[in-house]
Amino acid sequence: MSVLEQISENLQKGKANDVKVLVQQAIDEGTEPGSILNDGLLAGMAIIGAKFKKNEVYVPEVLVAARAMKFGTEILQPHLAAAGVKPIGSVVVGTVKGDLHDIGKNLVSMMLEGAGFNVIDIGIDQPAENFVNAAIENNAAVIGASALLTTTMTNMKEVANAVKASEIAGKTKLMIGGAPVTQAFCDEIGADGYAADAASAADLAKSIIA
């Protein structure tokens, strides 16, 4: 098995320290940093994401895989920067005002990072203007808004309206998700996309910026 395959395998098993050692080994062997990222770390996350979508693995497996990826990217980051490898785009992620749930949002952030995005996580209980301001500051391609509660999902409409009323209207896309959210609700508030789970959210982000 090549070192890149080993990185992917160990990442899927959540073996963070092994991933770190293997990434260092790949760097030392002279493997392109972009290849270590795409064919090692992101390849492993893509497999975990696909299994998560099919309910073959659950939240714990995703969390430990994402942690392993973080261990790998930490030592890879300076090499990526030196080689001029850039993230495929920036995404601002947060849970809407009145909603204190963060597990769904965190999973989406991990999957987005696992798909090669730079993620700006603004946290829970965030008013609409914070999503827009963070998107402007970071030149984000996508905003991802999360809500777990039926009583707070209506605040996604505020985010949609704030985007439409701002300078990023038509440029930054809005995607939404969370247990009570549906495609019909997405259409109703005029968001650019809805994803049913965290892995689908990463796919959606890629497709709406394409």
Interface contacts to another protein, rule CB under 8 A: 53-55, 57-61, 63-64, 67, 97-100, 102-103, 125, 149-155, 157, 180, 182, 184-185, 188-189
Strand (E) positions, the chain?
Answer: 90-96, 118-126, 142-146, 173-177, 193-194
Residue whose CB is less far from another protein, 10 or 152: 152
Amino acid type, 109: S
| Least Å from the CB of residue 115 to another protein | 21
Alpha-carbon torsion, ordered 59, 64, 68, 70, to 10 deg: 60
C-alpha closest to that of 157 among 167, 148, 147? 147
Do 117 and 37 touch, CB atoms closer than 8 A? no
Query: 208 φ, ψ to 5°?
Result: -80, -15
Rounded to a whole number of angstroms, the minimum distance from the CB of residue 185 to another protein is 5
Nearer to another protein, 32 or 51 (CB): 51
Closer residue to another protein in complex, CB, 61/129: 61
CA distance 85 to 56: 32
Are 122 and 155 spatial neighbours (Cβ–Cβ below 8 Å)?
no
Smallest gap from Cβ 8 to another protein, in A, equals 21
Q: Among 78, 76, 44, which Cα is nearest to 61's?
A: 44
Least gap, CB of 73 to another protein (angstroms)? 17
Smaller CB separation from another protein, 56 or 167: 56
Smallest separation (angstroms) from another protein to the CB of 103: 8
Asked whether 11 and 45 are in contact (CB, 8 A), the reply is: yes
Of 163 and 168, which CB lies nearer to another protein in the complex structure? Answer: 163
CB nearer to another protein: pick between 51 and 206? 51
User: In angstroms, what is the minimal distance from the CB of 91 to another protein?
Assistant: 22
